[in-house]
Amino acid sequence: MNGKLVSALALGAALFAGTPAQAASCKKDADCGSGQVCSKGTCVKSAAAKAASDTAKAVAPTEDAMAGTKRSPYFGWGGIGLYNVGVSVDVAGFGTVSGSSTYFGFNAGGAVNLLNFTPDLPLVGWGEIALTLGSDLFFPLSVGAGVRYDKAGPMQLLGGLGFTIMPHTGEGDTPLGLRILAMVLYPLPEVNKNLSAQGALSYAFLTDGFHLFTFTVGIGYAL
């Protein structure tokens, strides 16, 4: 008798475990849990929660051994590079005189997903700071928006526009203007699952006849 009772209990538990969980009934949104709304008497995932889940799946493929910075909607980067600072000045009787100097510098930045245009093409906000070394010191500071694309094979791409201000130790006013940024990241899972090699090019059109062209390399890290 005891053996039959145990078998029946085990069979009942197995059947219960194999039965899909039923959605909770409701009359209004307040009857449902966090991230759910009441639809036709049943609690279902809200559009905002579904979009957040879809975004997480799109940009955080943690099961992918080659994910790198793709793992997260947040990632940062840092590196070194070359900063070409040019200036054009109008000189009476001589026309426009131009010149430029190239400096070595350091940079650090980060990006965060803001919303999805498509599951594979989110809008991002980004920011970066840099310091150049040389006869004059330049401190380019940039913030902007852009898009990232995670489906270019193993690579991750980011492109955007931003506002740049460039304080410096030389004479004259502080130039500011528009910056165009293009970045590529390549995962380095053999080093760390969240790590990517990073490279970027940018060009800034600045006031007072200045321009700034940069080429940098470094590492990115999923946060």
Query: Is this model's pTM higher than 0.75 or not?
Result: no
Q: Print pLDDT tens along the chain (223 aa).
A: 444 444 444 444 443 344 444 557 888 888 888 888 888 888 888 777 666 555 555 555 556 767 899 989 999 999 999 999 999 887 766 777 888 999 999 999 999 999 988 878 999 999 999 999 998 999 999 999 999 999 898 999 999 999 999 999 988 899 999 999 999 999 999 999 999 999 999 999 999 999 999 999 999 999 9
Q: What is the pLDDT of residue 16?
A: 39
Q: How many domains does the chain have?
A: 2
User: Is residue 95 located within the same domain as residue 44?
Assistant: no
User: Is residue 102 located within the same domain as residue 191?
Assistant: yes
- HEC per residue, 56-121: HHHHCCCCCCCCHHHHCCEEEEEEEEEEEEEEEEEECCCEEEEEEEEEEEEEEEEEEEEEEEECCE
Question: ∠ at Cα 130 (172, 157), nearest 5°?
Answer: 125
Are 210 and 85 contacting, i.e. CB atoms less than 8 angstroms apart? Answer: yes
Q: Does 8 map to a domain?
A: no
CB atoms within 10 A of CB 142: 25
Are 202 and 213 contacting, i.e. CB atoms less than 8 angstroms apart? Answer: yes
User: Is residue 85 located within the same domain as residue 34?
Assistant: no
User: Is residue 212 located within the same domain as residue 111?
Assistant: yes
Residue type at 29 in one-letter notation: D
User: Is residue 80 located within the same domain as residue 41?
Assistant: no
**CATH code of the domain containing 95:** 2.40.160.20
User: Is residue 102 located within the same domain as residue 147?
Assistant: yes
Q: Does 58 map to a domain?
A: no
Short-list 191, 123, 116, CA closest to 161: 123
User: Is residue 138 located within the same domain as residue 207?
Assistant: yes
DSSP letter (8 states) at residue 168: B
Q: Calculate the CA 116 to chain-centre distance.
A: 12
Q: Name the residue range of residue 32's domain.
A: 23-48
Q: What is the pLDDT of residue 2?
A: 45
**Tokens representing residue 73 in the block:** 């909607």
Q: What is the pLDDT of residue 63?
A: 60
User: Is residue 92 located within the same domain as residue 146?
Assistant: yes
User: Is residue 36 located within the same domain as residue 141?
Assistant: no
User: Is residue 41 located within the same domain as residue 83?
Assistant: no
Q: Does 150 map to a domain?
A: yes
Q: What is the pLDDT of residue 19?
A: 42
User: Is residue 39 located within the same domain as residue 138?
Assistant: no
Short-list 111, 109, 85, CA closest to 172: 85
Alpha-carbon torsion 122, 127, 133, 139, what sign? positive
Q: Does 153 map to a domain?
A: yes
